[in-house]
Structure 1
Amino acid sequence: MKKIAIVTATRAEYGLLTPLIRRIINDKELKLELIVTGAHLSDKQEYTINAIYEDGFPISHIIPILEGGNSAYDISATMANAIRGFARCFRDDRPDMVVILGDRTEMLGIASAAMNERIPIAHIHGGEITEGAVDDCIRHALTKMSYIHFTATEEYRNRVIQLGESPNRVFNVGSLGTENILNEKLMNENEIRDDIGISLDKKYSVVTFHPVTLEDETAEDQARTICDVIANRIDIIFVITKANADKGGEIVNRIFEKFSEKYRNAILVHSLGMRKYLSAVKFAEFVMGNSSSGILEAPVLGTPTVNIGDRQKGRIMVDTIINCPCDRNKILDSLDQVRKIHRNKTRIYGNGETSKRIVTEIKNIFDNGIFLKKGFYDIGRLGGK
C-alpha cells in the first residue's frame, strides 16, 4: 500500500483538496497521510484546523511554520521553517508521494524538503499564470520540482510541457473546485441567507480581496478603494471574506474590520468554509475582488465576476468575468455592467471527476515505475522527441 501525503496550509486550499482526501481514504491501494500546517494553526486565521477535525479526517502530522507577521521577512522565515519542519517529518515518516496544490510560498519550502528526500511530488494547478502576484514564479518553480502534474485545462497542460515536463507525466484532469460544485450538496438560498444574515429582499455580492504581492505597498490604498465602492452601493449587501496570510493581508483585514463596523451593507466573515462559500457565490448577484475563486469557481456556477486589478492577469477568462483596474469609478461602472451578463455556466474545468482521475494516474505512475532522473522535454530544439 502506497502512502500519499497531502499537505494543506490554508482554508481555501483545504476546501479544494477535500474530494481528493476522501477518495484516497476510501482507496484500498493507497493510504492517506494528511499534513496540516501554515495558516490552519494561526489564531489570526481563527484556527481553521478545527474545520478539518469537524470533517472527521485523520491528521497524521501538525507542523507549525508561520512567523508572527506577514512582512517580506516573515514570509521568507516561514519558508525556512517549512523546509526545517517538513525535512524532519519526511525523514522520520517518509511517504511514497507528496501532493501539493497551487502556488503559495510555503509550498516552495515543503517541496524543497520533499525533493531533498527524493520523494516524488504531485502538483495540482500548474501551468497557470498570475502576472500580478509572486505566486506566478512560485507555481512554475513547483512545476520543475514536481514529478507528476495535474492541470485544470489543456492550455495549462501545454504550458507545463513547455516548461520541459514530459507529456507522459502531465494530465489535464479539470479542477477540484468544479468537482466540489458539481457533486457537493450546496445550501439553498434561504439557508445561506439565514446563515449569513441577509434578508430575501436584499441583493448581495461576495467580496474576496488579497494583497497584490508584486506591487509596492498598494494593499492599504486598494482596500480603501474597495470600501469606497461598497459605501457608494448601499442597495447591495457585500459579504467580505478576510484576506489570506500573504504580505499585507493584516492591513487589508484591519481596514475591512473597521469599515464593516461602520457600514450596514458590509458583512465581514473570516471563513465560510467550502460548502457555505460556494452556496453564497451561487446565489450572489456577482462576486468582486481579485481571488482565483472568481476566475475558477464562480464561472462554473454561472455567477458573474468583477475581477479587480492584475493579480489574476494571465488566467483564462470566460465571458462572465469583467476585468477592471482598482479605480473607484471604473469599479462602479463595472458593477453596472455586470447586471447585463448572462449567467452561463462554464465547463472548461472538467466534468466533476477530477479526484478520480488524479488517483487513477497516481496509481498508474507507481505501476509503471518512478524515475526521478527526469529529462528536459525540449519541444523546440528536439522537436518534442
Structure 2
Amino acid sequence: MKVAVVTASRAEYGLLLPLLHRLKNDPFFTLQLIVTGMHLSHEFGLTYKEIEKDGFTIQKKIEMVLSSDTPTGIAKSMGLATISASECFEELKPDILILLGDRYEILSFASAAVVARIPIAHIHGGELTEGLIDDPFRHAITKMSYLHFCAMETYKKRIIQMGEEPNRVHVVGALGLDTIYSMDFLNQNELEEKLGIRFKSQNAIVTFHPVTLEDQSAEKQFSELLKAIETLDDTFIVFTKPNSDTDGRIIIDMIDRFVGRFPERSAGFTSLGQKNYLSLMNFVDLVIGNSSSGLLEAPYFRKPTINIGDRQTGRFKPESVIDCLPECESILSAIKKSKSPEFKAVLKSFKNPLGDGKATDRIISHLKVTSLQTKKKFFDLT
C-alpha cells in the first residue's frame, strides 16, 4: 500500500513521528513522505533537515510559504500549495493520503486529493478550537476524508454528527502520546548544554499563537502575557516561537525584544526539536500559553497548564489545565492557583484520558484491513 503523509510544521511532524516510523519499517506499506510549509522556510529553521536526520527519505519537498503572514499572503500560499499538491499526486499516485490536524497547508492538500480521487485518512478530527480559523479547516478536512482516527469518544460523536458513517470513525487515542511513552528524556544538565541556557529555581515553557478569528489581538494579548511573566523573577522562561499564522511575526518580534531585555532569565527558540521540547516539558514547573500541547502533552507529565484566552475553546481540557483571560492579573492569578497545595494534589491523582501510547498500533491495524475508496454515504442521525 502506497501511503502518502504530509507534514508542514515541526509540531505536526512530532505527532506523526511514531506512525512514520511504523509505515517506513512495515513491508506492507510504502511510505511517501511529502514535506512542505514551514519545514522549508529559513525563517522557521529549515526543519526538513531534522526529518532527514531521523532517517526518512523525503519524496517531495513542496514550497508554499510566501514571505507574508497577512490573510492575503496566507491565501496565496494555500493556492500555491493546491497547485503543487495536484502535480505531486499525479507523480506519486498514492493509494491513500494521511493528514493530521487543521492547518491551512493541510486543507490545500486535502482539496487536491479529493479532485485526484485519493482517499484520505484524517487524524485528530472532531476537535474544536473556536478561537481559530483552523476550526472550520479541520471540519472541512473531515468531510473530505474517508477514514477518521480521533482521540476520544466525544470527537467520534462529532464526526458522526457531520454525516460520517460510524464504521469509518475510529477512536485511537492521541497519537502524540505514543512517542512520550517510549522516550528517554534529557536531564537538566543535558538540556542546559544543548540549549545553551541556565535554569532557575522555577522554569516554564511559553508558547503563544495568534488567535486568528480576532482582529488585531496578537500584540495586545501577548503584551499582557509578557507583563505577567516579567514579574516572575525566580522563573526562567523558554519561549517557543509561533508558526506561520496571521500576525505570527508580531509575536516573534515581541519575544526577541523580551529576551533581549532579560537574557539571564529567558530564551527564545524557533524550533527545539521533539526530544528537546518534550524533555523540557518533563523538566519545567509550568506550561503557559494557548498551544494545544498544553492540553495534549503536558497532562502526561502532570504539569499545570495556564491556558490563556479562547484559542482552545471547545477542546477537551484535562484537570491539569487552568483557564484564564488574556489579561495580566488573570494570568498571574492562574499561576498562583497552579502553585497551591490543592491544585498540586489534583495533579498527583488525575489520570490522562487522552491515550495509552498505542494509537499507532490501532491506526496501522485499521489501515491494513480497510477497503480504500472515495465514495461514501452521508450518515443521518435518527
Bin for the TM-score computed over the shorter chain? over 0.9
Q: In structure 2, how many angstroms separate the alpha carbons of the residues matched to 1:212 and 1:200?
A: 30
CA distance in 1, matches of 2:196, 2:88: 43
Could you give the per-residue CA deviations for residues 264-311 of structure 1, whole angstroms, max 9, x where no partner exists?
322111111111111111111110000000011101111110000000
Q: Indicate whether 1:356 and 2:361 are aligned.
A: yes
Q: CA deviation at 1:194?
A: 3.5
Q: CA deviation at 1:200?
A: 5.7
- Cα distance per residue 1:297-333 (max 9 Å; x no partner): 1011111100000000111111111000100111011
Contact 2:197 2:267 (C-alpha < 8 Å) held by counterparts: no
Query: Normalization by structure 2: what TM-score?
Result: 0.96
> What amino acid does structure 2 have at the position aligned with 1:363?
K
Per the alignment, residue 291 of structure 1 pairs with 291
Unmatched segments (≥5 aa) in structure 1:
none
Q: Percent identity, please.
A: 43
The AA in structure 2 aligned to 1:183 is: S
Q: Any gaps of 5 or more consecutive residues in structure 2?
A: none
Post-superposition offset of 1:203: 1.1
What are the Cα deviations for residues 224-272 of structure 1, in whole angstroms up to 9, with x where unaligned? 2221112111111110011110001011100110111111322111111
Q: Which amino acid is 1:329 matched to? A: E
- Counterpart in the other structure of 1:229: 228
Q: TM-score, normalised by structure 1?
A: 0.95
Shift of 1:221: 1.2
| Contact in 2 for aligned 1:181/1:301 (Cα 8 Å) | no
Q: How far does the alpha carbon of each residue in 1:317-353 deviate from its partner, in whole angstroms, 9 at most, with x for none?
A: 1111100010011101111111122234633122101
1:55 partner amino acid: D
1:325 aligned residue? 325
| Contact 1:204 1:285 (C-alpha < 8 Å) held by counterparts | yes
Matching of residues 1-385 of structure 1 within 5 Å: 2-199=1-198, 201-263=200-262, 264-340=264-340, 341-342=343-344, 343-344=347-348, 346-365=351-370, 369-379=371-381, 383=382
Q: Deviations over 1:118-145 (max 9, x none)?
A: 0000100000000100111110000000
* Alpha-carbon separation, structure 2, partners of 1:39 and 1:109: 14
Separation in structure 1 between the aligned mates of residue 230 and residue 86 of structure 2, nearest angstrom: 48
Q: Contact (CA 8 Å) 1:209, 1:289: kept in 2 or not? A: yes
Find the residue that maps to 2:149 and give its secondary structure.
Answer: strand
Q: Retained in 1: the 8 A contact 2:200–2:235?
A: no
CA distance in 2 between counterparts of 1:256 and 1:198 reads 16
Q: Residues 29 and 172 (structure 1 numbering): CA distance in 2 closer, same or farther, change over 3 Å?
A: same
Return the letter of the residue paired with 2:159: V
**Preserved CA contact (<8 Å) 1:175 1:350:** yes
Q: How much is the aligned-residue C-alpha RMSD, in angstroms?
A: 1.2
SS at 1:322's partner residue?
Answer: strand
User: Quick one: distance in 1 between partners of 2:329 and 2:352?
Assistant: 32
Going from structure 1 to structure 2, the CA distance change for 1:262 and 1:358 (only over 3 Å counts) comes to same
> For 1:200 and 1:80, how far apart are their aligned partners in 2?
44
Q: How many residues align?
A: 376
| Counterpart code for 2:360 | S
Give the Cα–Cα distance (whole angstroms) in 2 for the partners of residues 52 and 94 of structure 1: 22
